[in-house]
């Protein structure tokens, strides 16, 4: 079974287990956990959009998913606060109280709108992507030397996850519109992020607090977005410094996040599928612009996903987030975001063979 077939099968299982009948919404978990509300939060819902964007862009099967992609983009409006200034998406559906507005959540959506525009051709999606960047940049302040806060009305931390995807979104919008201010914002954001790169591991730390403390936790997506942004900057400008940085981040992320496993001798990425999908986007962006056409990191992700297909799927077809297959197979509480990420990962890898 090839990657496209795996993506399609995994999406069908996602719909079977998570789609809420007679709505455009999805449950947060298989077997609802204590504290679950009626439907998923915005972040897992955006993962379904990522999955469908990746499926809809596939050369042969893609058109079969265009209607489903439009449908989830329409369903997204259940989270939209049109009266906010600037407008943006809440972390939960507005009909049930809404929620906090996270800058990163809206940046991820901006990237989804760009991708939907490229696949479906509707300029309204590009307009929405620009709206998402305006919201993100409303979170920039001179405090802490610049940077975008993690969420609105919370001035305690500025996070890699709220700045890295903003840089990528600005660059993707520059590619579509040619607006120089988008390019300028991307480089400005990356300059602010630079001190959050560990001088030892050469991957990015999580956040900077208003007190000056650095949260030194590391996650795959927090290196994936600066990697992606540097690859795009090289593609746009031709400046070799950006290519060198993207290559260095790819190498550092592989060494740091996928060390050799003592039990199996294999290299497994962490049990964070959606974060890993963001890192894969960075690897793919580097591959697209690097004249060396080095597949080392893409092939490593493929080996992980081959192993997961064979060893990390439960009897119902859902995945454990632990791709080694050593844990999580019997958990009843599958998370929508984990399953959506698997669709995206297989679909994106289907583009590269």
CATH at residue 11: 1.50.10.20
Compute the Cα dihedral for 55, 59, 63, 67 and give only its sign.
positive
Of 25, 4, 1, nearest to 15 by C-alpha is 25
**How would DSSP label each residue in 154-220?**
EEEEEEHHHHHHHHHHHHHHHHHH--HHHHHHHHHHHHHHGGGB-TTT-SB-SEEETTS-EE----H
**How would DSSP label each residue in 91-158?**
SS-GGGT--PPBHHHHHHHHHHHHHHHHHH--HHHHHHHHHHHHHHHTTB-SGGGS-BEEETTEEEEE
Compute the Cα dihedral for 267, 296, 53, 44 and give only its sign.
positive
What is the β-pairing status of strands 88-89 and 80-81? antiparallel
Whether the ω angle into residue 86 lies within 30 degrees of 0, i.e. cis, is yes
- Contact assessment for residue 32 and residue 12, using Cβ atoms and an 8 Å cutoff: no
CA 312 to chain centre: 21
202: containing domain:
3-350
**pLDDT given at position 36:** 84
Residues 6+ apart with CB under 8 A from 246: 227, 230, 231, 234, 282, 285, 286, 289, 290
**Rounded CA separation 351/122 (Å):** 23
Beta-sheet strands, E only, within 53-92? 80-81, 88-89
pTM above 0.95, yes or no: yes
- Contact assessment for residue 341 and residue 301, using Cβ atoms and an 8 Å cutoff: no
> Considering its fold, how many domains does the chain have in total?
1
Task: Name the 3-class secondary structure at 89.
Answer: strand
- pLDDT one digit per residue (tens) for the chain, 353 residues: 899 999 999 999 999 999 999 999 999 998 887 888 899 999 999 999 999 999 999 998 999 999 999 999 999 999 999 999 999 999 999 999 999 999 999 999 999 999 999 999 999 999 999 999 999 999 999 999 999 999 999 999 999 999 999 999 999 999 999 999 999 999 999 999 999 999 999 999 999 999 999 999 999 999 999 999 999 999 999 999 999 999 999 999 999 999 998 888 999 999 999 999 999 999 999 999 999 999 999 999 999 999 999 999 999 999 999 999 999 999 888 999 999 999 999 999 998 65
């Amino acid at each position: 079974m090839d990657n496209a077939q795996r993506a399609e099968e995994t999406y069908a299982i996602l719909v079977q287990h998570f789609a809420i009948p007679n709505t455009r919404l999805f449950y947060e978990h298989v077997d609802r956990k204590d504290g679950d509300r009626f439907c998923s939060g915005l972040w897992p819902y955006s993962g379904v959009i990522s999955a469908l964007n990746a499926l809809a862009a596939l050369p042969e099967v893609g058109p079969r998913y265009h209607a489903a992609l439009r449908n989830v983009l329409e369903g997204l409006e259940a989270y939209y606060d049109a009266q906010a200034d600037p407008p943006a998406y809440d972390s939960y559906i507005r009909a049930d109280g809404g929620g906090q507005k996270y800058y990163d959540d809206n940046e991820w959506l901006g990237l989804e709108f760009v991708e939907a525009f490229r696949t479906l051709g509707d300029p309204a999606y590009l307009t929405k992507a620009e709206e998402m960047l305006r919201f993100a940049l409303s979170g920039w302040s001179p405090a802490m030397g610049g940077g975008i806060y993690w969420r609105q009305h919370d001035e305690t931390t500025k996070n890699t996850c709220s700045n890295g995807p903003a840089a990528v979104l600005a660059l993707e919008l520059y590619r579509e519109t040619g607006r120089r201010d988008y390019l300028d914002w991307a480089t400005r954001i990356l300059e602010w992020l630079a001190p959050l790169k560990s001088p030892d591991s050469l991957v990015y730390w999580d956040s900077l607090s208003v007190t000056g403390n650095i949260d030194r936790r590391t996650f795959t997506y927090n290196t994936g977005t600066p990697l992606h942004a540097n690859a795009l900057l090289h593609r746009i400008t031709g400046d070799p410094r950006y290519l060198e940085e993207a290559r260095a981040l790819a190498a550092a992320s592989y060494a740091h996040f996928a060390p050799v496993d003592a039990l199996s001798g294999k290299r497994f990425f962490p049990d964070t599928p959606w974060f890993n999908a963001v890192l894969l986007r960075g690897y793919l962006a580097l591959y697209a612009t690097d004249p060396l056409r080095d597949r080392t990191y893409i092939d490593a992700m493929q080996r992980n996903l081959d192993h997961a297909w064979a060893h990390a799927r439960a009897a119902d077809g859902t995945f454990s987030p632990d791709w080694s297959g050593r844990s999580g197979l019997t958990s009843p509480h599958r998370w929508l975001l984990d399953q959506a990420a698997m669709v995206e990962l297989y679909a994106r890898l289907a583009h590269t063979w």
